[in-house]
Amino acid sequence: MRSRHCASRSRTRDLDRASRRQDRLPGEVPATSIHLCIRRLWPNRDPPEGWRFDRSELVSGPMAAPKPKPTPKRSWWYDKKHVVHCYSSPRDDCHYHIVAVPSTSDIYDAELGRATKRINGILEELSQQNRPARRPSLIIVDSRPFLAWTQPSRGGPDEPGVLGPDDKPATLTKALQLDVTGGRRRRPRPPKPKKRAYIIGGTGNVYCYPNDRGGCVLSRLWESAEVKAGSFHDSDMADATLQVNAVLDFVGEGQGQSTSPSFIVIGGALGLVWTEPGLGPDDDPQDIRQALGLSR
């Protein structure tokens, strides 16, 4: 009785021998028995969805590798018990790692690649600590990252009187006890943060400009004015913050006024890239006119 399969074993051997003899372009892989089998099933039309293939390999179907899942977007809130929560949200301002841009260009070079790897290594060391229901996160507070222990939550704020990214900057910096004086190393007072968006120009450069939408974040992390054991920013977090800022300071040395390292939000993660300042509708009209060469 003839087999109900696509081809019997003897017939498959014949097809394989025939495929090895067939004419093909230099470097082209000969068709295998499974491809010839599929051709026999659908000789005059394309295979159904899930069995698409070409002459050299099976492109999709049961044997194909699964597509990588996109990084989920998260936001944060701060409850009355002094716990920082991260939850699923399109706001995209709570991040667990720094994404490495997979190409070398004017906005991402080997120096930023090494810095990204070092920062992720610092975050990974924190993750290895035994902290039940806590994980190290970079939350965006007033357009600047802050490293804190966060608690994953299923939803957003579930009680009145809590704080979140939309609250006034002065309220957030006071509640989270952020150091606005320049940090323990007494660097120059950090510039007043303002929300900035970014755009990737036709030449591949990234320009950051003032805009309430956000997405372009100052690279240097907030430091805490008061470090407490067992809090969302303990001594381990404070030491890790100093290490990350040292990496960012080293990367930024020697750069001109027009180029600086910045974090940009890339679909659920932060990316460290070279950015240039740009102008937008929210800038001072006089600055815009001057940039365009218009008369006063």
- Same domain assignment for residues 13 and 143: no
Q: pLDDT tens digit string along 195-242?
A: 889 988 877 789 998 888 889 998 899 999 989 898 999 999 999 999
| Rounded-to-integer distance, Cα 139 and Cα 78, Å | 11
Q: Rounded to an integer, what is the distance from CA 111 to the centroid of its chain? A: 18
Domain contains 242: yes
> How much is the pLDDT for 127?
92
Domain contains 283: no
pLDDT (average), residues 56-82: 69
Domain contains 96: yes
- Same domain assignment for residues 57 and 84: no
- Same domain assignment for residues 33 and 87: no
10 Å CB burial of residue 254 (0-12, 13-18, 19+) is exposed
| Rounded-to-integer distance, Cα 294 and Cα 11, Å | 79
Output the six-digit token pair for 8: 């019997």
- Same domain assignment for residues 62 and 99: no
| Rounded-to-integer distance, Cα 74 and Cα 154, Å | 11
Q: pLDDT tens digit string along 3-44?
A: 444 544 454 455 445 444 444 444 444 545 555 555 555 566
> How much is the pLDDT for 61?
45
How many residues appear in the chain? 296
Q: pLDDT tens digit string along 63-75?
A: 444 555 677 899 9
- Same domain assignment for residues 6 and 99: no
Output the six-digit token pair for 125: 């060391």
Residue 57 pLDDT exceeds 50: no
> How much is the pLDDT for 116?
93
Whether this model's pTM surpasses 0.85: no
Domain contains 5: yes
Residue 164 pLDDT exceeds 80: yes
Q: pLDDT tens digit string along 244-276?
A: 999 999 987 766 667 889 999 988 889 999 998
Which domain range does residue 86 map to?
77-193+219-254
Decide which of 46, 67, 88 is a domain's last residue. 67
For 122, residues 6+ apart whose C-beta sits below 8 A from its C-beta are 240, 243, 244, 247
- Same domain assignment for residues 19 and 157: no
- Same domain assignment for residues 20 and 145: no
In the chain, the amino acid numbered 35 is H
- Same domain assignment for residues 104 and 224: yes
- Same domain assignment for residues 11 and 92: no
> How much is the pLDDT for 191?
52
Contact call for residues 141 and 176 (beta carbons, < 8 A): yes
Contact call for residues 241 and 248 (beta carbons, < 8 A): no
- Same domain assignment for residues 57 and 162: no
> How much is the pLDDT for 23?
45
Domain contains 138: yes
Domain contains 277: no
- Same domain assignment for residues 150 and 89: yes
Cite the beta strand spans of 142-181 per DSSP E: 144-152, 178-179
Q: Summarize the chain as % helix, strand, coil (round to 5).
A: 25, 20, 55
Q: How many domains does the chain have?
A: 2
- 67 or 162, which is more confident? 162
10 Å CB burial of residue 205 (0-12, 13-18, 19+) is middle
Reduced to 3 states (helix: H, G, I; strand: E, B; else coil), residue 31 is coil
Domain contains 20: yes
* Axis crossing angle, helix 9-21 with helix 33-41, rounded to the nearest 10: 110
- Same domain assignment for residues 48 and 126: no
Decide which of 21, 45, 67 is a domain's last residue. 67
Domain contains 204: no
